[in-house]
Structure 1
Amino acid sequence: MNYIETKNEEHGNKIKLFYEDYGEGQPVILIHGWPLSHKMWEYQVEKIVDAGFRCISYDRRGFGDSDKPWEGYDYDTLASDLNDVITALGLSDTIIVGFSMGGGEVARFIGKYGTANVSKAALISAVPPFMLKTDNNPDGLEKEVFEGFKKEIRKDRAGFLAGFGDKFYNYDKNKDRVSKDQKHYDWSIACRASSKATLDCVDSFGLTDFREDLKQFDVPTLIVHGDDDEIVPIDIAGKKSKDLVKDNTFEVIKGAPHGLIMTHKKEFKEILLRFLKK
């Protein structure tokens, strides 16, 4: 198994992050969503490698096969982890692709470290620019939404994750596009995550303001969102990111839910590969 050791010791000992690395060519890093792992990218990795790219997917700390420390789930630390992946693997001219919570890592990484080793970025069903409703972000979600997540996770994490999976895919509307077995597979991945990481990341993706980070983007950026996303609504996420990122390509997949990389694999594959090759 492949691991890199982080350099960030702010939250105690260094930790190991699991990653998979396939193909040759320009590197593409895939950053997974909450509460899954690199395994969520299964149907994209093959297409990216076959298109002539080097595809790297890693597990966020606390998830998948990476170490599961008690602390360190804030976005500054997660962006530092991404920087360590890029540095340890000696990457340059990198394309970084973040799904949902992973879009936050993309945003905070660029805001904090810049784009010296990055040539393109992609935000897929991503949480930026700011999920929380505040006086200067009136279209956001009430804090009670995220507190409700944490309450249900503490009460019955497995049960919460099963219900989240239904909403992730808008399952009743997309039964012809995604199987019960896939939902169960996702559930099993999510259940393997650290319960502490699962909880702490709710505050990270729910309460972190990425608006200033997005203003620092100076590379071509792909923004993809489904217009039927019930987890990260397009009106408070994708559409607002489009207005903040200077050089962006904004793609809306009609009828797509949050988990569009599974329900709308064909449409998403075409959009992503077109952007990677452009």
Structure 2
Amino acid sequence: EAIHYAARAKPGRVAKVVLIGAVPPIMVKSAKNPGGLPIEVFDGFRAALAANRAQFYKEVPAGPFFGFNRPGAKVSQGLIDNWWRQGMEGGAKAHYDCIKAFSETDFTDDLKTVDVPVFLMHGEDDQIVPIADSALLGIKLLKKGKLKTYPGLPHGMASTHPDIVNADLLAFFKA
């Protein structure tokens, strides 16, 4: 996660940080994070990955990642195929371990530490990283954070709506 690296960077090495649909502060449900997703959700991801990685990398982008499971969604087979290609090029063990890393790593201290401008961009219809337990909590921990939410946009909004996302990125970089 970018915030982890920014929190540990030598002064002057990071000028700004952008988090798009990011997981911080932490995704998994616990006593400290009662609004998080149950560990069973992530166990399900791991089981699906282990059982049939190729199918897993077809179903996730065809459904919740890009919001293609929503009524009226304009499905892009190219995006689905590209996500599958990228997934199949990676190592199965790394992908399996990644599920633990993105779901169970607590980035709370990293968010509190970063002292540069941080732009949180998050789709309000993100089915992968629910906004209520990520961006809406993370923004409260940042010293110089700016949050922009996008009604109806999915987790993969940078790919489904690059015109919107890129314009906001450019404005943040130029500011």
What is the TM-score normalised by the length of structure 1? 0.60
1:69-103 residue CA offsets vs partner (Å, 9 max, x unmatched): xxxxxxxxxxxxxxxxxxxxxxxxxxxxxxxxxxx
| Counterparts in 2 of 1:115 and 1:123: CA distance versus 1, 3 Å | farther
Partner residue of 1:212 out of 109, 123, 126: 109
Which of 31, 52, 55 is equivalent to 1:159? 55
Q: What letter corresponds to residue 141 of structure 2 in structure 1?
A: L
What are the Cα deviations for residues 53-78 of structure 1, in whole angstroms up to 9, with x where unaligned?
xxxxxxxxxxxxxxxxxxxxxxxxxx
Q: What is the number of residues matched between the two proteins?
A: 173
Is the contact between residue 7 and residue 114 of structure 2 (CA under 8 Å) also seen in structure 1? yes
Q: How does 1:250-261 map to 2 (within 5 A)?
A: 250-261=147-158
Relative to total residues, which structure has the larger strand share, 1 or 2?
Answer: 1
Displacement of 1:266: 1.2
- Aligned pair in 2 of structure 1 residues 138, 257: CA closer, same or farther (>3 Å)? same
- CA distance, structure 2, for counterparts of residue 232 and residue 247 of structure 1: 22
Give, in whole Å, the separation in 1 of the partners of 2:11 and 2:54.
39
Gaps of 5+ in 1: 1-103
Q: Deviations over 1:181-221 (max 9, x none)?
A: 22112111111110010101111111100001100010011
SS at match of 2:17: strand
Report deviation, 1:135. Answer: 0.5
1:146 corresponding residue in structure 2: 42
Gaps of 5+ in 2: none
Q: Is the 8 A contact 1:115 1:218 kept in 2?
A: no
Whether the aligned pair in 2 keeps the contact of 1:121 and 1:222 (CA below 8 Å) is: yes
Is the contact made by 1:131 and 1:236 (CA closer than 8 Å) also made in structure 2? yes
Task: Provide the residue aligned with 2:142 in structure 1.
Answer: 245
* Inter-CA distance 275–161: structure 2 relative to 1 (3 Å threshold): same
CA contact (8 A) 1:124 1:224 kept: yes
Query: Which structure shows the higher helix fraction?
Result: 2
**1:228 counterpart SS class:** coil
User: Given residue 244 of structure 1, which amino acid in structure 2 is its aligned partner?
Assistant: L
Q: Percent of pairs identical after alignment? A: 35
| 1:109 to 2:15 alignment | no
1:11 is aligned to none
Task: Give 1:114 deviation, angstroms.
Answer: 4.7
Cα distance in 1 for partners of 2:20, 2:10 equals 20
- Relative to the length of structure 2, the TM-score reads 0.94
